[in-house]
Structure formats: structure tokens, C-alpha cells
Amino acid sequence: MQPNKPNILIIGAGPGGSATSLFLAKKGIPHTIIDKAVFPRDKICGDAISGKSVYVLNRLDETIIPTFNTQKDTFIESWGVKFVAPNGKAIDIPFKKEIGNNQLPPGFISKRQHFDFELIKRLDKNYANFIDGAEVTSIVRTGNQFSVTYIKNTVETTLSNIDLVVGADGDRSIVGKTFASFKKENKHYCAGIRAYYEGVEGMHAQNFIELHFLPEMLPGYFWIFPLPNGMANVGAGMLSSEVSKRKVNLKADMLNAIANNPNISARFKNAKMQGKIQGWGLPLGSKKRELSGDGFLLVGDAGALIDPFTGEGIGNALYSGMLAADSIELAIKANRFDAATLKQFDVAFYDRQWDELKLSHTMQRLTKFDWLFNFVVNKAYKNKALRETISCMFEDIDLRAKLRNPLFYFKLLIND
């Protein structure tokens, strides 16, 4: 670290941690970033890179997205999402209302081993001291500073005099557990599984991601996301509270849908699973949580910021990392790292994202009522204004004022 500079430590180098590091470096702020993995590494995920992700990456460096667009073996462009209701009715929602020539894609799908590694390769060595293959085993706060101990290659090392810690270490964040008293709440937590398949047929020409709300899997959902080289990310998710209450076997239900659902099975007749089905947990952003405290910030999954409806977490991980860097810069200028000063991070994030998260939570709850979900999709199928409204949600990171007005939706639903 440079003299007279505060010691900043980021624990976790996934999208949230990497974004924090990259934006700090852009501001000329030195820091250390540590991760237990050695990159590239696999990460269980849906692999979708949303329009929000594209927005943040463009804020970081406008050359990143054009670079992704040239890497056809690892990144595939995606122009929209297909929603399939329990009654089988489907609506295609483009991420942009209008698609012109030579436009860069509004979204991508890429395996996390590729996407995360692209971010890691961009870490700025002039400002970021990156320690990989190092697992943090303890974090202790004494006075106004932290001591963080990690093990790398069986050697234990302690970093002392840390002024601020960013917890970017995922669902089981040691920072969140130690200082934010985070506990798993099944009604705000989703169980997810995914497998990679080769040879799934019937993909959208513009690589729309697909969310299928199958009757046999409600209130959960099934997804098919295209990947480069004829591969697909296929998975399922359901609230952990529902999994427990209904004694659901997600793996069995997913395989049953692939084998027997009339709208799904034909597409898998020549498909082969590559590897095995793997599971992970998704801490959902359906509840406001404390994202900061004395000397710490939480970003990405460590702050439970995953979209409750789509299960997409990369966008909010990147976005929270960007805002974390802004808050750290302000804290350094004030030379204060107390809870009151860092609270600006919570305010900044939720001011921009809470309406969106609330809307997604409402959509998530809608899936409990198949008749109502069918009605809304049927209405959207016939109602161009409603389809365009949903499209705006994907295209514009700031939900328009009308999207926050319940009367707008009421008018849409009673008029064709």
C-alpha cells in the first residue's frame, strides 16, 4: 500500500468484488483483493449477463462489451427473454424496443469461468494487490481497524491495520456473518440447480433466454439459456420455503420435465448432458438488509441482492460494486469509515434498485397463482403496450415513473 493511504481489503473476486476493485482503480485508490479460488474457475450460475451488467461495464470501460462481442467461443449475444406461462402461452420480450443495424447486444450469456476471468484479467496491478488461492479464515475488528487471516498453500498470513473491508465473498460471506448477523431466511432464499446440455433444439434466432413456468414445477421455474458452441445452461429454481413445505426434489422435477413435458421434451430428444447437475443457493433481494456498518460494505450475493423473479445476480453484483467504490471514495475524502458515513452506500443502492426488486418480488409471488400468471401473459401477448413496458424495464436501468404507478398496470390489464 502507498503511504498515507487507508488500507482497503476486498474479500472475494467474483463480479461484485472485481467491479469494486476495477472502479477503485479507476479512481486511483490502492487496495488488496483476495479470493480462495485460482482463476479461471467454474461457478454454478445461470450464466446470464443482463442489460444492467452491460450498463455497468460500459461505465467502467467502453471497450469491454465490444471485446465480448468478438469472443464468439465464450460469449453469445442475447437480445431478449421468452416467458412461458403455465398454460404454454409464450411471449417474447426484447431487451430493446428497437434493434438497429450494427448495434451491440444488450445482453450476453457466458459461462462464469469465462466471464469472471475476463474481469480478473482487467484488475489493475498499479492499484490492486490480487491474492488468489487464499481462503480467509478469520476477521477480527479491534478499535477502528480489522485483522484478516488467510491460508494460502498451507501458510497462514494475517493482514493487519485494515481500515475498510468489502465483503464480496458470496452467500456464505464471512464478513456478513461476522458483522451483519446475516441469517438464511427460506422465504428470501432460492434453491437452484443447473446442468450443461449439448444439442438442445428450438433456440430463439436471437438467443433469447427462456423462463418456463411449468405447471408441474410451480411456484418454481425452469430455464433454458443458450451458450456458445451449441451448448445450453438448463436449470430450475424455487423458493427454499416452498421446497421445504412441499418436499420438492428439484433435480427429479427438472429431469421429469425434460423427459415428459410436451412443450419441452421434444427439444431434448437429441440432447446430452455434459457433466452433472449441480446446485447452489440464491440469497434474494426481496428484503432490505443492512449493506454496511462500521468499517465494512457488502456487495453482490454477500448483500443478498439477487433478483427475486429471474434469479439473476451478476447485474446487481456489478452495480453494487460500482456504488461501493463511490462510497469508499467519499469515505476516504471524509477520513471516516464508521457506520454513519458508510450508510450512504445502502441509500445509494436502494434508491436506485429497491423499486425494481419490489416489482420482481411481486412477479415472483404471482407464480403461486397459475391462473393469474396465465392471465397476465395472455394479456401481454395481445397488448403491445404491455410488452413494450416490460421491454423498457430491461432496457432502462431507471424504471420509468409510470412503472411505479399501480394505476398504469390496472389500465393495461382492463384494456386490450
Q: What is the pLDDT of residues 81-130, one digit of tens each?
A: 999 999 999 999 888 756 555 688 999 999 999 999 999 999 999 999 99
Residue 217 has pLDDT above 80, yes or no: yes
Q: What is the pLDDT of residue 389?
A: 66
**What's the average model confidence in pLDDT over 306-323?**
95
Q: Rounded to an integer, what is the distance from CA 390 to the centroid of its chain?
A: 19
**What's the average model confidence in pLDDT over 310-330?**
97
How far is Cα 159 from Cα 165, in angstroms, rounded to an integer? 11
pLDDT tier at 394, thresholds 50, 70, 90: low
Q: What is the pLDDT of residue 13?
A: 98
pLDDT tier at 190, thresholds 50, 70, 90: very high
Residue 4 has pLDDT above 90, yes or no: no
Q: Provide the 3-class DSSP secondary structure of residue 168.
A: coil
Q: What is the pLDDT of residue 2?
A: 43
* Range in 40-49, 67-76, 374-383 the model is least confident about: 374-383
**What's the average model confidence in pLDDT over 196-216?**
96
Residue 390 has pLDDT above 70, yes or no: no
Q: What is the pLDDT of residue 397?
A: 46
DSSP 15: H
Give the residue with greater pLDDT, 98 vs 383.
Answer: 383
Q: What is the pLDDT of residue 1?
A: 40
Distance linking the first and last C-alpha atoms of the chain? 62
Residue 10 has pLDDT above 90, yes or no: yes
Domain ranges of the chain: 8-65+112-185+285-359, 76-103+186-283, 368-414
pTM for this structure? 0.93
265, 197 contact by CB (below 8 A): no
Residue 76 has pLDDT above 70, yes or no: yes
**What's the average model confidence in pLDDT over 268-275?**
98
Please tell me the class of the 8-65+112-185+285-359 domain.
Answer: alpha beta
Q: What is the pLDDT of residue 93?
A: 86
Residue 387 has pLDDT above 70, yes or no: yes
Q: What is the pLDDT of residues 122-174, one digit of tens each?
A: 999 999 999 999 999 999 999 999 999 999 999 999 999 999 999 999 999 99
The reply to whether 8-65+112-185+285-359 and 76-103+186-283 are identical in fold is no
**What's the average model confidence in pLDDT over 340-350?**
98
**What's the average model confidence in pLDDT over 336-348?**
98
Q: Which residues pair with 274 in a beta bridge?
A: 196
Q: What is the pLDDT of residue 330?
A: 98
CA atoms within 13 A on the CB side of 179: 26
Q: What is the pLDDT of residue 288?
A: 95
Report the chain's mean pLDDT, rounded to a whole number: 91
**What's the average model confidence in pLDDT over 9-29?**
99
Residue 363 has pLDDT above 50, yes or no: yes
How far is Cα 89 from Cα 96, in angstroms, rounded to an integer? 22
CA atoms within 13 A on the CB side of 42: 8
Residue 399 has pLDDT above 50, yes or no: no
How far is Cα 85 from Cα 373, in angstroms, rounded to an integer? 7
**CATH code, 76-103+186-283:** 3.30.9.100
pLDDT tier at 401, thresholds 50, 70, 90: very low
Give the residue with greater pLDDT, 218 vs 373.
Answer: 218
Q: What is the pLDDT of residues 231-246, one digit of tens each?
A: 999 999 999 999 999 9
